[in-house]
Amino acid sequence: MDWHAARAALEWQVEMGVTEAISDAPINRFEQVATPAKVPVAAARPVSDALVAQQDAIDPVAVAEAAARGAGDLAALQDAMAAYPHCELQKGARNLVFCDGIAGARVMIIGEAPGREEDRVGKPFVGRAGKLLDRMLAAIDLGRDRDADAAVYITNVLPWRPPQNRDPKPDEMAMTLPFLKRHIALAQPDLLVVMGNISCQALLGKRGITRLRGQWTEAVGRPVLPMFHPAYLLRNPAAKREAWADLLDLQARLHKKKA
């Protein structure tokens, strides 16, 4: 190509909007396969190892224990639970379900985990099972809105609803147990009623509610009465007979302690 032809070609390219010369020969971009830039292994490994080591160094249970210990009252405990970052259940839950009833009541009822209605409202035992629980308590002159000796205080082992109401995983229970124990210590009930297998597993280290129910035991320094969960009674109405016997036993225990 002579000088005049080269000049004409350059002027044409400038007129068409070309602003930069990239290479001497044209490149077919469709034939190229984009490959990510490779990071030298020696440079990448220290960062990755440091991140893994940092994650491994975090003990979620120890973090929960420290946070629970630092809570001086129930409001502070609720704030500490809301700020706890290591339980994945928080991401799928609408609300932290903390408590209902009267703090300082003689009876503290511990359920398993929030259901759909509890998650929506932010209080434990507000669905069908909650309505049955209220009727059960009223039958022995107790209630969540009563005064003095007739009041109850209610919480759950887990404050966040598991997806599809599945059973809590062992690591999830381990993370929330320090908060539950601190909750009991701050609420200061005379005795505990644990409802269902999950509650028994958390506080007593045992499962098998049909065998455990009605048998007084002890945990966290307090008398404990295992009972059927109201949701179980809705599915198995025949078990209400045993639940009524347990309620009468609870009533007798309260009257005895009062006397």
pLDDT digits (tens, 9 = 90+) for 203-253: 999 999 999 999 999 999 999 999 999 999 999 999 999 999 999 999 999
- CATH number of the domain residue 181 falls in: 3.40.470.10
d(CA 167, CA 198): 8
Q: DSSP states of 132-159 as a string? A: HHHHHHHTTT-BTT--GGGBEEEEES-S
The predicted structure's pLDDT at residue 8: 75
The predicted structure's pLDDT at residue 27: 65
**164 half-sphere exposure, CB direction, 13 A CA radius:** 1
The predicted structure's pLDDT at residue 48: 58
| pLDDT by 10s per residue, the chain, length 259 | 666 777 777 777 776 766 666 666 666 656 655 555 554 544 445 555 655 555 567 899 999 999 999 999 999 999 999 999 999 999 999 999 999 999 999 999 999 999 999 999 999 999 999 999 999 999 999 999 998 789 999 999 999 999 999 999 999 999 999 999 999 999 999 999 999 999 999 999 999 999 999 999 999 999 999 999 999 999 999 999 999 999 999 999 999 877 6
Residue 36, domain member (yes or no): no
**200 half-sphere exposure, CB direction, 13 A CA radius:** 20
Quote the domain boundaries for residue 138.
93-258
Indicate if the alpha-carbon torsion angle 210, 213, 215, 218 is positive or negative.
Answer: positive
Residue 160, domain member (yes or no): yes
Residue 2, domain member (yes or no): no
Residue 163, domain member (yes or no): yes
Number of domains in the chain: 1
Pairing relationship of beta strands 222-227 and 191-195 according to DSSP bridges: parallel
Q: Which helix (H) or strand (E) holds 224?
A: strand 222-227
Residue 83, domain member (yes or no): no
Residue 173, domain member (yes or no): yes
175 close to 64: Cβ distance less than 8 angstroms? yes
The predicted structure's pLDDT at residue 12: 73
The predicted structure's pLDDT at residue 51: 52
The predicted structure's pLDDT at residue 46: 57
Strand intervals (E) in 70-176: 100-101, 107-111, 152-156
Residue 215, domain member (yes or no): yes
The predicted structure's pLDDT at residue 55: 55
Return the closest-CA partner of residue 98 out of 116, 75, 115, 117.
Answer: 75
Question: pLDDT (tens digit, 9 = 90+) per residue, 222-233?
Answer: 999 999 999 999
Residue 17, domain member (yes or no): no
What pTM, to 2 d.p., does this model score? Answer: 0.78
